[in-house]
């Protein structure tokens, strides 16, 4: 069973009163109310649709802190974090006798003191018998794809890159951030049902997470009676030689990739549109007529589209270069129109042209059923085509107006050390090439990937051009200090040595009869160069040398599954790169995770120095780890091959 399916099953089990979900769809479900907080809402929404909730018997799903009316004859399933505010509100619900019975499910483990608070409130309200079940679900993370997860969406600034790397951070603040990250990662491995082999580089926040996670796993494994990794939760057994390899990386290892202009469908949507938790929000009627003089401007409607695992087109093309996606959308549209014309032709032959559904229903049962089935399929196809036509058109508008293809190609050449056919100053000075933020992103990548920083005179020239283009130079000040601090100037080769090539595969998209007029947009293909992949490359033929959790001696372990996690935030570019890497390794699976998911605009805001922040501050502990080893020599050897 896949990781995505494990998470989906865990949620459905919880909604079925912590019993295995019913496979018999004909059986009537027990109708109930779902009460969640914002954290629970974020966990559920990418996995379960409103229809699936209804099929599970959920008649209402309400936020815990909203105004809720009593429904005394219906059971309530709670799915919340065990915070003080949430516990107080649950106690208030008990006192107010809102529901028939209460099934309390906590996203992460609840403390004994808070459990006693609930017990006291239930006793005072004479509702002890109504509190039917209390569960720790260990689901404190968000599953976005079958091979991707993030830790949180709400309050993500508390564990953000800036929060970890600000210069004025106190030890207690850092401990709290690391504990929050470790709690979510522990929940992830409980749900996965496996004890990982932990690897990480030394001397950064990733090592601190590794130390704390190692300690938490060991403490749980020592308590054999209450261990979460034995029995049903641990399918392969604690001493399995097919344990996953857990590779922790620090965001400071690669600062260029989060700033990179991308060329794949999913990453482009996240970069240029409002895309969160598998839902893209778009404004309708961007080209609407202006309101009459003196009238209140019309409010633009926002429409949302869900890009989920049920969308076959999305699953097939989310990692494809955008021109290929545009061509595929056009092909789907042409196929749909051809099928629609064929149905009209058949109706005309049968003498049903222009007739309503009532006339069609008078046909034989088989013909009526066939017609109905095709109509239902056509409606679904039309909805998906409409979705991707609108989304792809919006992305294409950004590509054309900002010349994103030019930025992508130039940055690929910078990161792959290819020959540049155009001056960087020419792009920065071109008023028609992108926004000030696009220009700043390009220059930061140039600065990060360079063997040596530019001379003071050249830097002053670049700064003047950036200021003339309307750029904010504060991110550059941070990156200068970051590069000096991390001594990354000598290791830019980690970004790879393969560039991009113009492709002629998408020529059909270029014709004017297409829904997507790609004239003026270059056809480029993405080459793998993201340095994060190097973290899992040192394990050829699935072999990893590490210290076993219990044995304490060096063992040769066969690794079939790797989980790469970035402390400090990640992006869809790295995710897609690891997906492509896994496809090249038959029989292996790679899962990508990060503390938060951000696009380039959100990342730039985090690297703008605050008044007291001058440089990345955490230098890592001085002690060594029993479960980790320094990857630097292996990375160096890999770069020489």
In the chain, what are the domain boundaries? 3-139, 143-254+530-607, 265-402, 404-489
Residue 544 has pLDDT above 80, yes or no: no
What's the mean pLDDT in 160-164? 94
The mean pLDDT value for 266-279 works out to: 95
Question: What pLDDT is recorded for position 521?
Answer: 60
User: Predicted confidence band at 2 (pLDDT cuts at 50, 70, 90)?
Assistant: confident
Tell me the pTM.
0.83
H runs (alpha helix) in 450-515:
456-468, 474-486
Query: Cβ–Cβ contacts within 10 Å for residue 24, how many?
Result: 6
Look at residue 20 in the predicted model and tell me its pLDDT: 87
CATH classification of 3-139, choosing from 3.40.50.1000, 3.40.50.300, 3.40.50.2060, 3.30.70.250? 3.40.50.2060
Report how far apart, in Å, the C-alpha atoms of 458 and of each of 124, 227, 424, 461, 462 are.
Answer: 74, 60, 11, 5, 6
End-to-end alpha carbon distance in the chain = 37
- d(CA 529, CA 477) in angstroms, rounded, equals 26
**Between the CA of residue 167 and those of 161, 164, 207, 335, 568, what are the distances in Å?**
12, 9, 19, 57, 15
Mean pLDDT along residues 245-264? 93
Mean pLDDT of 433-449: 94
pLDDT at 560: 82
pLDDT at 498 over 60: no
User: In terms of DSSP bridges, do strands 142-145 and 279-283 run parallel, antiparallel, or are they unpaired?
Assistant: unpaired
CB 139 within 8 A of CB 11: yes
Q: State what percent of residues in the chain have pLDDT above 90.
A: 55
Which has more pLDDT, 597 or 630? Answer: 597
Which has the higher per-residue pLDDT, 507 or 20? Answer: 20
* 143-254+530-607: CATH number: 3.40.50.1910
- At 342 the pLDDT is 73
Identical fold, 3-139 and 143-254+530-607:
yes
Q: Does domain 404-489 have CATH number 1.10.10?
A: no
pLDDT at 357: 53
Residue 58 — very low, low, confident or very high, per pLDDT cuts 50/70/90?
A: very high
**Cβ atoms of 567 and 185 closer than 8 Å:** no
pLDDT: which is higher, 471 or 636: 471
Q: What is the mean pLDDT of residues 605-626?
A: 50
Tens digit of each residue's pLDDT (9 = 90 or more) over 624-641: 333 333 333 333 333 333
User: What pLDDT is recorded for position 341?
Assistant: 72
What would the pLDDT profile of 79-92 be if each residue is shown by its tens digit?
999 999 999 999 99
Say what the pLDDT of residue 634 is.
Answer: 33
313 pLDDT tier (thresholds 50, 70, 90):
very high
Q: What is the mean pLDDT of residues 219-244?
A: 68
**C-alpha to C-alpha distance for 43 and 20, rounded to whole angstroms:** 19
Confidence band of 502 (pLDDT split at 50, 70, 90): very low
Nearest to 630 by CA among 160, 165, 185, 210: 210
Task: Assess whether pLDDT exceeds 60 at residue 490.
Answer: no
DSSP state, residue 245: E
> Tell me, what's the pLDDT at 377?
56
Q: Say whether pLDDT at 372 is over 60.
A: no
User: What was the pLDDT predicted at 573?
Assistant: 94
Q: 3-state DSSP call for residue 269?
A: helix
The topology under which CATH files domain 265-402 is Syntaxin Binding Protein 1; Chain A, domain 2 (3.90.830)
Q: Which tops the pLDDT comparison, 296 or 408?
A: 408
Take residue 445 and report the two structure tokens written for it. Answer: 């990548």
Q: What is the pLDDT of residue 483?
A: 87
How confident is the model over 224-240, as a mean pLDDT? 60
């Amino acid at each position: 069973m896949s990781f995505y399916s494990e998470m989906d099953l865990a949620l459905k089990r919880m909604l079925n009163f912590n019993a295995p979900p019913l496979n018999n769809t004909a059986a009537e479900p027990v109708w109930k109310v779902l009460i969640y907080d914002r954290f629970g809402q974020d966990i559920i929404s990418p996995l379960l649709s409103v229809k699936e909730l209804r099929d599970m018997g959920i008649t209402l799903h309400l936020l815990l802190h909203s105004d809720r009316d009593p429904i005394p004859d219906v059971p309530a399933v709670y799915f919340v974090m065990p915070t003080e505010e949430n516990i107080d509100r649950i106690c208030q619900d008990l006192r107010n006798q809102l529901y028939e019975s209460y099934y309390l499910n906590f996203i992460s483990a609840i403390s004994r003191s808070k459990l006693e608070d609930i017990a006291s409130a239930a006793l005072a309200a004479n509702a002890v018998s109504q509190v039917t079940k209390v569960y720790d679900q260990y689901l404190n993370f968000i599953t976005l794809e079958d091979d991707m997860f993030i830790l949180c969406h709400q309050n993500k600034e508390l564990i953000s890159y800036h929060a970890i790397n600000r210069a004025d951070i106190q030890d207690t603040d850092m401990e709290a951030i690391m504990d929050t990250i470790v709690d979510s990662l522990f929940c992830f491995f409980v749900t996965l049902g496996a004890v990982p082999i932990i690897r990480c580089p030394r001397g950064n926040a990733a090592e601190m997470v590794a130390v704390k996670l190692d300690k938490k796993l060991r403490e749980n494994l020592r308590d054999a009676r209450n261990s979460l990794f034995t029995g049903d939760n641990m399918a392969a057994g604690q001493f399995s030689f097919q344990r996953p390899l857990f590779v922790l990386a620090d965001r400071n290892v690669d600062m260029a990739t989060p700033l990179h202009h991308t060329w794949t469908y999913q990453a482009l949507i996240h970069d240029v549109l409002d895309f969160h938790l598998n839902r893209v929000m778009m404004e309708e009627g961007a080209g609407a007529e202006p309101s009459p003089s003196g009238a209140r401007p019309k409010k633009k409607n926002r429409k949302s589209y869900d890009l989920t695992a049920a969308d076959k087109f999305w699953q097939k093309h989310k990692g494809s270069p955008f021109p290929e996606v545009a061509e595929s959308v056009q092909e789907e549209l042409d196929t749909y129109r051809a099928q629609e014309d064929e149905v009209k032709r058949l109706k005309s032959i049968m003498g049903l042209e222009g007739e309503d559904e009532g006339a069609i229903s008078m046909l034989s049962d088989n013909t009526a059923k066939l017609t109905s089935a095709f109509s239902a399929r056509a409606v679904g196809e039309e909805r998906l085509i409409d979705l991707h036509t609108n989304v792809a058109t919006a992305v294409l508008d950004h590509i054309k107006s900002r010349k994103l293809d030019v930025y992508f190609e130039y940055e690929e050449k910078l990161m792959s050390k290819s020959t540049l056919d155009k001056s960087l100053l020419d792009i920065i000075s071109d008023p028609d090439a992108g926004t000030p933020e696009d220009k700043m992103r390009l220059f930061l990548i140039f600065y990060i990937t360079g063997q040596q920083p530019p001379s003071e005179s050249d830097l002053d020239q670049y700064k003047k051009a950036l200021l003339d283009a309307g750029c904010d130079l504060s991110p550059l000040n941070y990156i200068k200090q970051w590069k000096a601090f991390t001594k990354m100037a000598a290791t830019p080769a980690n970004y790879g040595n393969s560039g991009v090539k113009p492709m002629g595969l998408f020529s059909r998209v270029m014709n004017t009869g297409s829904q997507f007029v790609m004239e003026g947009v270059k056809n480029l293909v993405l080459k793998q160069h993201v340095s994060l992949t190097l973290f899992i490359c040192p394990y050829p033929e699935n072999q990893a040398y590490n210290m076993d959790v219990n044995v304490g001696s060096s063992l040769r372990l066969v690794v079939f599954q790797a989980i790469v996690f970035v402390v400090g935030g990640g992006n869809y570019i790295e995710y897609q790169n690891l997906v492509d890497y896994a496809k090249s390794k038959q029989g292996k699976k790679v899962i990508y995770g990060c503390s938060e998911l951000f696009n380039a605009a959100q990342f730039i805001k985090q690297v703008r120095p605050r008044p007291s922040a001058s440089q990345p501050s955490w230098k890592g502990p001085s002690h060594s780890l029993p479960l980790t080893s320094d990857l630097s020599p292996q990375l160096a050897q890999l770069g020489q091959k």
